[in-house]
Structure 1
Amino acid sequence: MRLHTLCLTSVLALCAGAAQAEQNFNRVASFATSLNMAEGEDRARETSAEIIAVSGDGNTLVYTDGPLGVAGLVDITDPAAPKALGNVDVGGDPTSVGVLGQIAFVAANTSKNFIETSGHLVAIDLASRKEVARCDLGGQPDSVAIAPDGSFLAVAIENERDEDLGDGRVGQQPAGYLYLAEIKDGVVDCASGRHVDMTGLAEISPEDPEPEFVDINALGETVVTLQENNHIAVVGRGGAILSHFSAGAVDLTEIDATDEGALIFTESQPGRKREPDSVKWIDENHFATANEGDMDGGSRGWTIFNKSGEVVFESGASFEHALIALGHYPDKRSDAKGVEPESVAFARYGDQPLLFIGSERGSAVGVYDVTDLKNPVLLQVLPSGVGPEGYATIPARNLLVSANETDLGEDGAARAHVMIFQRAEGPARYPYLTSEGADERIGWAALSGLAADPEAPGRLYAVNDSFFKAQPTIYTIDATQTPARITSALRVTRGGAPALGLDMEGVTLAREGGFWIANEGDLDKNVPHALYRVDASGEIVEEVAFPTELTNHAKRFGAEGIAWVGDRLWIAIQREWGDDPKGFVKLVSYDPATKEWGAVRYPLAAPTSGWVGLSEIATRGDYVYLLERDNLIGDKAATKVVTRVPVSELNPAPLGGELPVVSREVVRDLLPDLLSNGGYVLDKVEGLTFDAEGTAWIVTDNDGVDDSSGETMLIRVTDLP
């Protein structure tokens, strides 16, 4: 119960922050790592930002880019306008970086295989970009840490196992160890380097410790996680093992442990090993771990230990619950490790000690006040880009930086990014939408269509799409609050059971009560192109299949929105079908009283690349409004617009014959709206509606947090013509 209370308290604290003018982080910029490639290089190549650090003056970021074998540099003198400074070859696969003043220490893996392991530590002068030292590490490195006083550094030499050998179990030789070396005159003294044996500590595979992550406190003590062994050690500056202990296990409740295409948080996992990844000292006696898990565990949360091994605080499932409320829960990871907390960072911003817990799979970072180590308070959850791996804290400049390693390529998908957040007085811009405060735990994501209550200003309804094939849901949203609140979830059923396999892309209120749903359909997967009327309980009471005059030419990309115009329902078809001229799509009408179908044609904008289609239709006054978008993301995006068509032109002709063409007027370019929160342009602008006061609301689809940043934007527009 206490853990659930923590979640509620944390999100309420987020909301109270705006009213009390507290300090909040907001994202101010996103930097695509592909921008650091030199002119003439193939920017379609995979890049990455995994671990990140900052120069002593706080103006230069240094991140590891494994695919390119480089350290990437970014000028953040103006944090809202980061500039590419290029890449520096490090002679191997960089795994971690630390910076002292203007010297970057980059660990690089040069192993031939899992048996013949090798690696080195490169010291790079950031001003000249020149290598000033190189130390042979004797094995495959993972994490680098620099002592707070700058006197020495530590490197975790993991010598990771071959996951294809012996079911990926530890132990496998050669064994890893801890590498310690002195720093003299700001540069590592390779001659002082020594190996600290860490075998014989853990119970699971004492012969194969696999050190994962390191950090050093003000006393010169190095904490080391042995992730695969579910073990932690604290090592003195001279290399003596001061303490070591099992990371222990957690009983998880109220989680979704099954990947079934539904968000059902009623399962439990007793005795789940923590298997911590990142670790960070909070003070001289306490550190926090992000419990990502590996072979046998992953507790979906994070823990504060003292250096004797006592648990001071355990988050349990509360961190995951916070991400669930914000639509950042990755359902496809339910049967694995859930949101996978992987990163942890700590710094004091003013007098406030803040801990940052990064979720690799939830693509978000939690900001905790750890003034009371036994009762941390979640202040914010920030959208961190796809697959965040590392964070850099810059408290002197009130900045936080994330490194997001996942690069999904150029074809309309998200590139790897560095994201910059600035802390200042004022409200938090994120989230736009939360289910916190509802009477039940409501998981949500992949919102694909919007409708509004014509009598209640700010009352909206949203549907999810086929990502949740086992749980089609209509959500009620109170948009009069900031952030907007999902207050209830209505499950769509057939015969009292979940209506499996729906792909709901549009919703509007039914005149009899309940809703009409537009189902996109995919004939190759036996998903029908159809309209469904559901009653107030969510039960399907009427199914209207598209006529053969439409389905004979149907492709996958069908109904994407539904709205009333007079007594007829109008449905926006996303892309051209077989009988459409190139660049034209249909607006299809259906009269529920007469059962008559008809259509007109709508002229799309020409794509710059990829495709352009419709994703929503809504009615206000003398016009129908449409969302028109391309399938591109980031700086490739060109068409994300609201258009309108006069109702007077919606004169449907019978299907199968010549169809009239309506006019198209662009009334809002949404690119500035999509860039307003400091991120890159999201792909799927999916829902549009007008509430009882005529305010326009626009929502984006986060693809169920699957190869997605997980972000959902709910944009309020009061000046739409």
Structure 2
Amino acid sequence: MKYPLLFISVLLIAFASCKKPNRDISDPLPEEEEFFVNEDPATFAEMGMIDVGGVGAAEISAYDSLTQRLLVVINDEENNVNKIEVIDMSKPAEMKVITSINVQPYGGMVNSVSVFDGKLAAAIESNDKQANGKVVVFKTTDYSEIKVIEVGALPDMVTWSPNGKYILTANEGEPNTDYTNDPKGTVSIISVDNNYAVNTIDFSAFAGQEAALKAKGFRVFGVGNDFLKDIEPEYVTISSDSKTAWVTLQENNAIAKIDIANKTLTDIFPLGFKNYNTDGNEIDPSDEDDAITARKVPVKGIFLPDAIAVLEDGGKPYLFTANEGDAREYDAFEEVKRVKNITLDPAAFSNWADLRKDENLGRLNITTTLGDTDGDGDFDELYSLGARSFSVWNGNTGEMVFDSKNELDKKTIAADLYDDGRSDDKSVEPEGLAIGKVGHKKVAFVGMERADAVAVYDVTNPTAPVFLQLLESGDAPEGVLIIPARQSPTKKTLLVVSSENDGVVKVYTPNTI
């Protein structure tokens, strides 16, 4: 009898060896293959639209595939409305509001939402913006409360890790208007499996490197010039293995890198500056020159990125940033002035009288926190806010590997979508950004707040993105969300763009090949 038993044992071992190993929930490959649709990423077209309100509505959206519903942030300060609108997306061409989640009991405005496996995380600031905010987790089936977690001051963005084990928030920590209360900027790491225990980390580990960071383009400025209080985290992206996070420090012109499991800050990458006096970087610096005229100018741009997304290729993380730019404008401190209202160093700008004309650089807004290199009260260099582009950075070193230069300006001008009234400020203002798989291609979508448009790029080679098309959006697109075909109610990729100035949410989809 021992031979039959041996034979059965061999069969059992062979069967066991053929079983697929347990797959981490963050690994999308089998599902992507199962639901693969051969789509053309250059053919996105609008298929649905819904208007959920006016200014402050539809700032950020998240999608729950379990219920096929869209969760949209609604903040109407004038009418004291703070809620999350719930929209039926089972038929994207016929979207409708079915209910809402009132967030007023938890504090002030809800700034961001993110969904994972039937759970909605909402980042909600305190009624006192300088006090600690909250992340509230709801069930997406009945919107009942699961957990309330205290995080840092002004949580501006929230996201789940791909494996669902962590929730991270970028806590901006803005000062009050008279700068008497300026909380530290922080990042909160919430361990879901540990009963939502939270670790909120600041940037004290790098305080001793302030001088070295500033020499590379890191900005510490404002009332007090306090390193820890001055840092303002804006947006978070997380690696596919859920081990590493990168956070934009917008006002500081940098990206921070975080070890999630150890809850430690490991790097700060200052981003440096962009030279508008070189080929390909030409800009139109005036809103009163009677034309859209791109030209080389003796000005540098400060990247100051808002949204960030990671694309991993060949084992290397590539960080895509939307280089919006942002100014500090408070009662106690305002950094921006027009070139015509400052004094230029005649040795640095021999043609200063001509440059100060409105049709030249006179109308251009620049920061007064940089440029007086010798401290004599006049400006030896000019620095404007934002880079009018999106960029790609090496996530391990912070090195730039690509910048779109002035292509976003060119494409919106060609499409008659460019707002010349913003030429003196930050131009098209790239703000929202998302990366996903469309057919065989990896695709990036870049939302431009002032052009009311989204640029679509093939980023299959992340070091050489290729422009595909331009999509018109609502007024001031903020949220850019990709719904993969495997999760989509149509079983095709959907792009959802939510716009904060008119409350319009639009849905786009590509053609199949």
Same fold, TM-score > 0.5, yes or no: yes
1:130 matches 2:144: yes
The equivalent position to 2:428 in structure 1, one of 326, 339, 343, is 339
**2: CA distance, partners of 1:22 / 1:63:** 25
Correspondence 1:318-467 to 2 at 5 A: 318-396=407-485, 397-407=492-502, 416-425=503-512
User: Contact 2:159 / 2:169 at 8 angstroms: preserved in 1?
Assistant: yes
**2: CA distance, partners of 1:108 / 1:215:** 19
1:147 matches 2:164: no
Instruction: State the shift of 1:180 in Å.
Output: 0.2
Instruction: State the shift of 1:46 in Å.
Output: 5.2
Give the TM-score normalised by structure 2. Answer: 0.70
Tell me the secondary structure at the aligned position of residue 299 of structure 2. strand
Change (3 A) 1:423 1:103: same
The equivalent position to 2:200 in structure 1, one of 178, 195, 198, is 195
Which residue does the alignment assign to 1:247?
271
- Number of aligned residues: 378
Equivalent residue letter for 2:507? I
Instruction: State the shift of 1:241 in Å.
Output: 2.0
Deviations 1:632-660 (A, max 9, x none): xxxxxxxxxxxxxxxxxxxxxxxxxxxxx
Which residue does the alignment assign to 2:251?
228
Deviations 1:462-504 (A, max 9, x none): xxxxxxxxxxxxxxxxxxxxxxxxxxxxxxxxxxxxxxxxxxx
The equivalent position to 2:321 in structure 1, one of 283, 289, 295, is 289
Change (3 A) 1:306 1:23: same
1:96 matches 2:112: yes
User: Contact 1:72 / 1:88 at 8 angstroms: preserved in 2?
Assistant: yes
Deviations 1:200-223 (A, max 9, x none): 265322232111111111132110
Correspondence 1:462-501 to 2 at 5 A: none
**2: CA distance, partners of 1:127 / 1:359:** 33
1:258 matches 2:272: no
Instruction: State the shift of 1:118 in Å.
Output: 2.5
User: Contact 1:231 / 1:247 at 8 angstroms: preserved in 2?
Assistant: yes
Flag the structure with larger Rg: 1
**2: CA distance, partners of 1:243 / 1:58:** 39
Equivalent residue letter for 2:145? E
Tell me the secondary structure at the aligned position of residue 251 of structure 2. helix
Instruction: State the shift of 1:47 in Å.
Output: 5.1
User: Contact 2:255 / 2:268 at 8 angstroms: preserved in 1?
Assistant: yes
**2: CA distance, partners of 1:269 / 1:73:** 49
Which residue does the alignment assign to 1:216?
238
Which residue does the alignment assign to 1:118?
132
1:50 matches 2:55: no
1:86 matches 2:111: no
Change (3 A) 1:289 1:58: farther
1:312 matches 2:401: yes
- Structure 2: runs of 5+ lacking an equivalent: 1-38, 221-226, 328-366, 368-384, 486-491
**1: CA distance, partners of 2:61 / 2:126:** 20
Correspondence 1:656-695 to 2 at 5 A: none
Deviations 1:124-168 (A, max 9, x none): 112112222111114211011111111111101111134x547xx
Tell me the secondary structure at the aligned position of residue 406 of structure 1. coil
Correspondence 1:581-596 to 2 at 5 A: none
Correspondence 1:637-652 to 2 at 5 A: none
**2: CA distance, partners of 1:340 / 1:23:** 23
Instruction: State the shift of 1:336 in Å.
Output: 0.5
Equivalent residue letter for 1:423? P
**1: CA distance, partners of 2:152 / 2:400:** 34
Tell me the secondary structure at the aligned position of residue 353 of structure 1. strand
User: Contact 2:453 / 2:472 at 8 angstroms: preserved in 1?
Assistant: yes
Tell me the secondary structure at the aligned position of residue 233 of structure 2. coil
User: Contact 2:479 / 2:499 at 8 angstroms: preserved in 1?
Assistant: yes
Deviations 1:196-253 (A, max 9, x none): 1124265322232111111111132110011001011110112222221112211233
**2: CA distance, partners of 1:235 / 1:286:** 15
Instruction: State the shift of 1:358 in Å.
Output: 0.6
Tell me the secondary structure at the aligned position of residue 267 of structure 2. strand
Instruction: State the shift of 1:23 in Å.
Output: 5.4
**1: CA distance, partners of 2:41 / 2:159:** 32
**2: CA distance, partners of 1:269 / 1:122:** 48
User: Contact 2:41 / 2:438 at 8 angstroms: preserved in 1?
Assistant: no
**2: CA distance, partners of 1:125 / 1:331:** 45
Change (3 A) 1:256 1:22: closer
Change (3 A) 1:221 1:321: same
1:275 matches 2:304: yes
Change (3 A) 1:210 1:243: same
Instruction: State the shift of 1:90 in Å.
Output: 1.5
User: Contact 1:251 / 1:316 at 8 angstroms: preserved in 2?
Assistant: no
Tell me the secondary structure at the aligned position of residue 51 of structure 1. strand
- Structure with larger RCO (C-alpha < 8 A, sep 6+): 2
Deviations 1:243-286 (A, max 9, x none): 21112211233321111153222253532110111111112511
**2: CA distance, partners of 1:269 / 1:339:** 20
- Structure 1: runs of 5+ lacking an equivalent: 1-19, 35-44, 408-415, 427-721
**1: CA distance, partners of 2:134 / 2:298:** 40
Instruction: State the shift of 1:85 in Å.
Output: 1.8
**2: CA distance, partners of 1:89 / 1:194:** 27
User: Contact 2:41 / 2:441 at 8 angstroms: preserved in 1?
Assistant: no
Tell me the secondary structure at the aligned position of residue 57 of structure 2. coil
Query: Where is the helix percentage greater, Structure 1 or Structure 2?
Result: 2
Deviations 1:422-471 (A, max 9, x none): 11238xxxxxxxxxxxxxxxxxxxxxxxxxxxxxxxxxxxxxxxxxxxxx
**2: CA distance, partners of 1:118 / 1:22:** 42
**2: CA distance, partners of 1:212 / 1:25:** 29
User: Contact 1:56 / 1:99 at 8 angstroms: preserved in 2?
Assistant: no
User: Contact 2:459 / 2:465 at 8 angstroms: preserved in 1?
Assistant: yes
Change (3 A) 1:234 1:22: closer
Tell me the secondary structure at the aligned position of residue 324 of structure 1. helix
**After the TM superposition, which segments of 4 or more aligned residues of structure 1 sit over 4 Å from their partners?**
20-23
User: Contact 1:358 / 1:364 at 8 angstroms: preserved in 2?
Assistant: yes
Equivalent residue letter for 2:481? A
Deviations 1:276-325 (A, max 9, x none): 11111112511100000113420000100011101111111111211111
**2: CA distance, partners of 1:30 / 1:303:** 30
Instruction: State the shift of 1:400 in Å.
Output: 0.4
**2: CA distance, partners of 1:183 / 1:309:** 30
**2: CA distance, partners of 1:72 / 1:215:** 24
User: Contact 1:29 / 1:81 at 8 angstroms: preserved in 2?
Assistant: yes
Instruction: State the shift of 1:189 in Å.
Output: 3.2
User: Contact 2:185 / 2:232 at 8 angstroms: preserved in 1?
Assistant: yes
Change (3 A) 1:326 1:230: same
Which residue does the alignment assign to 1:302?
390
1:29 matches 2:48: yes
Equivalent residue letter for 1:33? V
Instruction: State the shift of 1:391 in Å.
Output: 1.1
Change (3 A) 1:212 1:329: same
Instruction: State the shift of 1:345 in Å.
Output: 0.5
The equivalent position to 2:124 in structure 1, one of 108, 113, 134, is 108
Change (3 A) 1:286 1:156: same
Percent of aligned pairs sharing the same letter: 30
User: Contact 1:257 / 1:267 at 8 angstroms: preserved in 2?
Assistant: no
Tell me the secondary structure at the aligned position of residue 212 of structure 1. strand
